[in-house]
Structure 1
């Protein structure tokens, strides 16, 4: 219980103590698992043309004017070095039938581009066939954030598909009822 004393200084101290408390990674992961999000595959090409990509659920719009998005990439991801220096990337918003592809792009150490389910964007980047939407992005900024990097892209092109979204909730891919 917080008591307000002398204009609230005790309450401020108690709140700051709560903010400074450490949260266990497992506890944080469990809390975030209760927040549903969409699922995307993000792709780019290395300077030598090699395709790279990853699955993400940390994706959102940032700005309408100019159109910008952000996506978060684990620094431990196989493709992290490629996204550190790429000048462009594509984002494909996934539908429930893309589940195998989402799992493939989320798995470390696999050849994500060996199997089907992909096509090329007008800009020559791999994208997901029949994605709900595809966004062609120019890399705008990168911000370190703990064990991830926040990649901000300026949207240069959009293609729209049809269908229902795949949702990531409680550590599983799900569909909307």
Structure 2
């Protein structure tokens, strides 16, 4: 799967006591158009697992190409992932990145067994799309799409 490009996301929530939680994931995908559903996967042994599987809602921040440092911070263990102060209150009142390429706010629709991961199925409640080029994970590193101009025809080799 390392050779399959994927968006890099930081998914956030707030628990019932008001504490923010977040993690980095590249396992984010559209699931259904009607109703509008997306999925993101969280490891069963992750420190954030319980917070997300019991959450009422969550926010998927699709990171911009210049936010690899944010991805690394939210993937690290034993650190205060929110200490940098770059999160602000966004859709559904959840912590988010104002300059994320895309934000997708969801109500937790279901939690499914995905082996060593839990699959969070979210019903999309709100979205925000910015002008930024997204950060991708490909071949075990961060990268950006080469042709970052949606709607233009792809260049073909002669």
CA drift of 1:117 comes to 2.0
Written as runs of structure 1 = structure 2, the 5 A alignment for 1:20-169 is 32-169=1-138
SS at match of 2:93: coil
> Which runs of 5 or more residues in structure 1 are unaligned?
1-31
**Larger helix fraction of residues:** 1
Task: Find the aligned partners of 1:134 and 1:145 in 2 and give their Cα distance.
Answer: 24
Asked if 1 retains the 8 angstrom alpha-carbon contact of 2:90 and 2:98, the reply is no
Q: Does 1 or 2 have the higher relative contact order (CA < 8 Å, sep 6+)?
A: 2
CA RMSD of aligned residues (A): 0.9
Asked if 1 retains the 8 angstrom alpha-carbon contact of 2:109 and 2:123, the reply is yes
Q: Please tell me whether Structure 1 or Structure 2 has the larger radius of gyration of its CA atoms.
A: 1
> Which runs of 5 or more residues in structure 2 are unaligned?
147-158
Aligned length: 146
CA drift of 1:143 comes to 0.7
Asked if 2 retains the 8 angstrom alpha-carbon contact of 1:39 and 1:94, the reply is yes
Task: Find the aligned partners of 1:48 and 1:63 in 2 and give their Cα distance.
Answer: 31
Written as runs of structure 1 = structure 2, the 5 A alignment for 1:12-23 is none
CA drift of 1:170 comes to 1.1
Q: TM-score, normalised by structure 2?
A: 0.89
